[in-house]
Structure 1
Amino acid sequence: MKTLYLDVEHEYNFDLYGMVSPCKEYKLAWALNRLLDIHLIKKQDIYYDLTGKNQLVIANYLYSSEFSTVRLFRNRALGFNTLKKPFLLPDMKEYDYILQVTGALQQLYPQELIKKLQRISLIQYVKQFDPLTLKFKENLLL
């Protein structure tokens, strides 16, 4: 019998930024709201069921308008976790937060957005990433 395989290609048409910040996610969301004139809202945490009884719980903030979408994720899992890699994106484990930008806000030049983000005193470091280079990029598809 002939075996058929389903080959699915996803589009990663968003800009991705890693941010180092020691603050709580709600404080960072508030600062981003003021800086970018958006309204990030706390959404239900994202649950990834992994092998065994392990579960990865990620904090999730969302701003969505007719023209753009901005998501703020906490990279490290919430609560007590026994996983070896308790990160949304283990290839970016040095970064505390992930900012995903789609739509009109992408029209800002990445360097211009990085300069804006660096104005927030809560953010120590920002770097843009190409989602296609990440091993666990599927975790960003919601």
Structure 2
Amino acid sequence: MLISNLLLKIVSITKKHLFLDFELELDFSLIGISSPLRDYRLCHFMSKNTGLIFERGKENYIDHKGYLKDKDKDEMDYHIVFEKTKQKKTTKYHYGIYRYCDENFEFEYYLISNRSMEGNILLPELPNFDYFLMVKHYINQEDLSLIMDDIKRINEVLLVKELDPTSLKSKENLIF
């Protein structure tokens, strides 16, 4: 009995805890847009004003070699966010998304709805924005300002504002 207690104490002393602390690397610019327009209408007007010709969905069904991708259709058509509830149940939220990318993926633009089909908000700390324009990779401030000015010229757009993604509490919802 004494030996087993001694072994338990030795085991508990040698037990180590490892805590991982990491910072999300956010390599994109973010623009918030308030507009009563439906997403497809906003994309139409943005195409006319900015020259960015958006396509529905997060990615193509066909890969760079011409083969059909072996992925779930929902995964390619929507930005999906999973949320765990207190009852340990996982809920899936579908956010409308449109993309404009060049062939070499040197730049990528994504227009993401702030409200899911299920009624959830993507970035709860910014409920007044209806859409977010995410510009992946580097874009200089002058080009970003030009795009924002072009979007502001759309009559139905109420507000366009550059946002700092690092300051958002729910920034992980923007990672895909």
Cα-Cα RMSD: 1.8
| Structure 1 Cα separation of the partners of residues 124 and 46 of structure 2 | 24
SS of the residue aligned with 1:3? coil
Q: What amino acid maps onto 1:126 in structure 2?
A: V
Q: Deviations over 1:37-72 (max 9, x none)?
A: 222111111222322363322111111113211000
**Given the two structures, how large is their TM-score scaled by the length of structure 2?**
0.70
Q: 1:60 aligns with which of 91, 97, 108?
A: 97
Q: Deviations over 1:5-30 (max 9, x none)?
A: 33333221211111111011011112
Alignment of 1:1-142 (within 5 A): 1-43=15-57, 44-50=77-83, 51=85, 52=89, 54-65=91-102, 66=104, 67-79=106-118, 81=119, 86-103=120-137, 106-109=139-142, 110-142=144-176
| Structure 1 Cα separation of the partners of residues 44 and 130 of structure 2 | 16
| Structure 1 Cα separation of the partners of residues 49 and 24 of structure 2 | 31
Q: Percent identity?
A: 28
Q: Report the structure number with the largest CA radius of gyration.
A: 2
Moved over 6 A (4+): none
Measured after TM superposition, the shift of residue 107 of structure 1 is 2.3
Measured after TM superposition, the shift of residue 33 of structure 1 is 1.9
SS of the residue aligned with 2:145? helix
The answer for unaligned runs of 5 or more in structure 2 is 1-14, 58-76
| Structure 2 Cα separation of the partners of residues 103 and 54 of structure 1 | 30
Measured after TM superposition, the shift of residue 87 of structure 1 is 0.7
Alpha-carbon distance change, 49 to 13 in structure 1, aligned in 2, over 3 angstroms: closer
Measured after TM superposition, the shift of residue 92 of structure 1 is 0.9
Q: Deviations over 1:62-101 (max 9, x none)?
A: 111132110000001114x4xxxx2111111100001111
The answer for unaligned runs of 5 or more in structure 1 is none
SS of the residue aligned with 1:76? strand
Measured after TM superposition, the shift of residue 108 of structure 1 is 4.8
